Amino acid sequence: MAQPIKFGIVGCADIARKLSRAINLSPNATIVAVGSRSEEKARRFIADNGLPATTRPYGSYESLLDDAEVDAVYLPLPTSLHLRWAVAAAGKGKHILIEKPTALCVADLDQILEACETNGVQFMDGTMWVHHPRTAEMEDFLRNSDRFGQLKMVSSIASVYADSNFLQDNIRVKADLDSLGALGDLGWYCIRAILWASDYNLPKTAVAFPNAIKNEAGLILSCGASLHWEDGTIATFHCSFLAHLTFELAVVGSRGILSLSDFIIPFEENSAPFTFVSDSGFKELVTGWKSLPSKKVVSTELPQEALMITEFSRLVGEIKDLGAKPEKKWPVLSRKTQVVLDAVKESIEKEFKQVEIVG
């Protein structure tokens, strides 16, 4: 059996606690180092998260990247720091699992991806839900022309009701740390879901909804947009820090519909439902529906974040042990998501004018 991929955690953000657990649950990964801006904070993270006593604490990100034993890094840093540290990690030959949004703009992401390609390292963003087995089950339905038909509409909502402390102090509302606000944090998921539903065909244009809500620093707290394809397919999304916890996704085809209410984080860790139906119609005299939706529950032994780690580590292992090339699928999907996100942001900045999406 191949040796597990050895991870270094670069930064001690709250999400790093979840990913540390995921790495520990993964059969082909282990944590060997944690880096922070202070060694004391790194030591505290190791202790608080039950990591092995052999885990090395570093008081700087540079020191962790210089650790020759580290195969891959997880970067949960603020988005404004992604470009610097992802490029630095790639330059040290470290494979990169990076939190979303991947960058402040696609130009920055292109620099990261160029560094990864130059140094032959794997890149993947931290969009967890695409790794859940439910996603593959749903995809089977969407790609079945007899059951789903042709894609016509997609609707996605991602919202979290943030408390006053979040709205004052969280990095997601700080211009110097994560200037994309709710669009980057929650809109990323909506856009990725829309692209997934369209088999990752980029829309032609984006139009932001009027009156996006911003804080005093000008960061987006709530916004939405419509995306348009040349064949008439349309998608809409709304993302917000100001509305009740909602993770809704509906995908409508000419012959069927698929929907779920927990697409980002399943209601339960080890199972996830979705509903679907084909060829619905009305009963006689329109007294009700026939062909009612069916519910399917998909079970998983590992949570979606651990499945993400397992897949990433598998790819890294093939590069490390078998001389394989990095899988290009994941950087391509990240870049398409970033391109659409950039277009929506541009539409907001241009007073909600239509913006052409150029891949």
Catalytic residue numbers read 100
Q: Residue 31's closest CA among 59, 2, 1, 10?
A: 10
Q: Residue 63's closest CA among 38, 83, 31, 29?
A: 38
Distance CA 128, CA 187 (A): 15
CB under 8 Å to 329, separation ≥6 — which residues? none
Helix (H, G, I), strand (E, B), or coil: what is residue 134? helix
Contact 103, 115 (CB under 8 A): no
Q: Tokens in use for 218?
A: 């000008």
Contact 26, 306 (CB under 8 A): yes
Share in percent of the chain as helix, strand, coil (round to 5): 40, 25, 35
Contact 269, 212 (CB under 8 A): no
Distance CA 332, CA 314 (A): 18
Q: Tokens in use for 228?
A: 């348009």
DSSP of 144-186? -TTTT-SEEEEEEEEE----HHHHHH-GGG-TTT-TTHHIIII
Helix (H, G, I), strand (E, B), or coil: what is residue 109? helix
A 10 A CB-CB count for 69 gives: 9
DSSP of 228-294? E-TTS-EEEEEEESSS--EEEEEEEESSEEEEESBSSS-SBTTEEEEEEEES-EEPGGG-SEESPPE
